[in-house]
Structure 1
Amino acid sequence: MQRSWRRLFGLPWPDLVMAMLLIAAAIVTTALDDAVLHPITEIVATLTAASVVLRTRAPMVMAIVASIGCVVLSQLPGAATPLWAFATVLVLAFSVADHLRGIWAGIALVLILAATFIIQVGTSTSTVEIVLTPPIIVGAPALAGWLLARSRAQSERLRRLTAELAAERERHAALAAEAERSRIARDLHDILAHTLSSIAVQAGAAQQLLAASDPAMGPVEHVMTSAREGLAEVRSLLTVARGRTGPDVDPRPGLERLPELAATDGATLTIVGSPVAAQSGVSLAAFRIVQEALTNARRHAPGTRPRVTVTYERGGLRIVIENEIRAGAPGHADPGGDRGNGLVGMVERAAAHSGTVQAGPSDDGSLWRVRATLPYGRAAESPAQPPSPAPSPAPSEVVAPAKAAR
């Protein structure tokens, strides 16, 4: 890509400056020469020097005008080879080789070479000079111009190939990532499907052996239902991974399943504000964040009743999950010390939709709190909400009884 210069009347500044210098030199040199024919010589010299201004915009026109001008000057009385004419020929040959290609470059160089030869015949008496000077003063700058054009073309080709290579590398990386995602999805399906199917079968067998009034019947039914739902979700996950449907058409659960999830885990669910139809990917992320937080609460604080608060604000969802921290309880572990895949997964799910997740103990250290914020996304059809996040309608609660055993 050629260097871009500031232009005046559509012409580059360097060309204008060069033409003005050559015109000034031609006028001054010709005006001070008493042997030439005035003012015709000054006019022809000015037109010849001024043609340089077209070196990048119309190099073929420049070559024709300058060649004719040089031939006319060589035929006028008092013809000579001033320095400005020599400089003009150098610029002509360089510019033609730099900006013209193929047969047009050959024609232009032949014109300049012929004009130079005619000038030498009219101004020189040495046969050696007449024969050798034109090829030298035309050939040397023409070679330099050709080498510059070739170098510029090679640089442009290299930049283009580099861009194509980078794009190809990105395509290969995307294909490799897609293949890896498909492989992981297949492995997960093979492992989890077998395990969950075995759990469902064993739970079904246990259900057949239990009496309808047996206290263990409820937990066994829950295990069997959860196993079947998990198996269905694993299969849908594999379908999504293979089809690359993305979060907008994800068939997995969303905000509408939060009451069921809270009831299953014995949590208190509070919904503040009027529900808003969020993008399906955002709805899924919200469900998974709450699900993971409740799973952590079961693992690290068994026997507690988590509290889930979902607030529909003007700009998006605000979700808060809290549970008591019971030091010394059976199976207790400090949730703050667990920085495994669970919390990382929540953060990544929120970040994928420009949301945030923060987890940590409350100020008095009695509660473990997970806070998540998620925008509604493109599919939101939110009614007018007040700027304040304060609940407009009264909060609704879904309270599930605490389970007798965990």
Structure 2
Amino acid sequence: MKTDVIVLGAGIVGTSIAHNLAERGRRVALVDRRGPGEETSYGNAGLVERGSIFPVAFPRSLSALIEVARGQNPAAHYHWDALAGLMPWMFAYWRASAPARILDYARTMSTLLAFSLSEHERLAALAGAQHYFREGGWLKLYRTEAGIAQERKEFPLAQHYGLTAREIGLDEALALEPHLRPVFRHAVLWSDPHSVSSPGGVTQAYAANLTALGGQVLRGDAATLTRLGSGWWVMTEQGPVEAPEVVVALGPWARDILGPFGVQVPLAVKRGYHMQYRTEGNAGLSRPVLDEEGGYVITPMVGGIRLTTGVEFARRDAPKTPVQLEKTEPLARGLFPLGERAEAEPWLGCRPAFPDMLPAIGPIPAQKGMWVAIGHQHLGFTLGPVTGRLVAEMMGGEPTCVDPAPFSPERF
């Protein structure tokens, strides 16, 4: 089978790239070992995080580092046997988290984030997926004065980029979410983000519309990717597929595919867990809620309330160690009347991340016809559609919606 472009990886990023290419009349084969939206794009908090000007940075204060080292911070966990291999990456991550570089990050990421909602809305309308989306922003809760003081530092920068963050009182927070228990002292409502009730469902809807546009969604092994003359070849269950161009959008598995072609990138993973719960009585939420110092998010999803944990630094394929879930579940039960678990096992996923916290989007000059769109860290679901648009514009030689230079993989 011959096509114009092979897109490897059917998460939200790869699916959005394939969709945007198909909209432009390109013949596209979207290839993954699993179905669309069944890996990293399935297990997240469901936020289209328009307001994420500040990144999930590496702790800079000594007290915060000591808390993590002692296992006292439920938002972070690590495997001792993985730290030696991760140290160079973590040191670069620490350097990129310096205050001045955080401002550089904000300027750069704001260009992509400006299109995050509009591109999701456009694809959702085309795919008939609007019913998954809700407005109302998200609520951040703080148990201490120190926590809210840190959050207040973000308000001026948010305002500079036209975002709305409003500190609200306990009574107003409980009026917005009446089933929360008043175990917190402060709250901030970020109004710009949207959220969804099924990230996997959204991705699957976009993939279904891709097929309506003439694209193909195929099961296959990305590890079979082979240079074929001036083009590319990959094996699928439907047989071999050939194309002059390939896009690697494999998230945490990208290095496995890029390495054999001499493409080395400093990509690591931040592992994270989720568990879904039923609720007690008629309790419900209308938006995601972050317990900042508790280190977790609870989100209303199809089938219940999803609790999503923070970051675990470990080898990508190491066995599950849902320590953070065990620490945060009692905190979440104190905040909201969670019922019994609705899943037999905790879900584990890997957020692909570069130390500078920016994704890599663009061509690989040393490999003609190879493109990458990887490393979106905590913003993969948010940035999938705008990344899809940007890649399609670049591949077609069109004017681009944002300057792609800061995201070039050549920076490594």
Is TM > 0.5 for Structure 1 vs Structure 2? no
Q: TM-score with structure 1 length normalisation?
A: 0.20
Q: TM-score with structure 2 length normalisation?
A: 0.20
Report the structure number with the largest CA radius of gyration.
Answer: 1
Structure with greater strand share of residues:
2
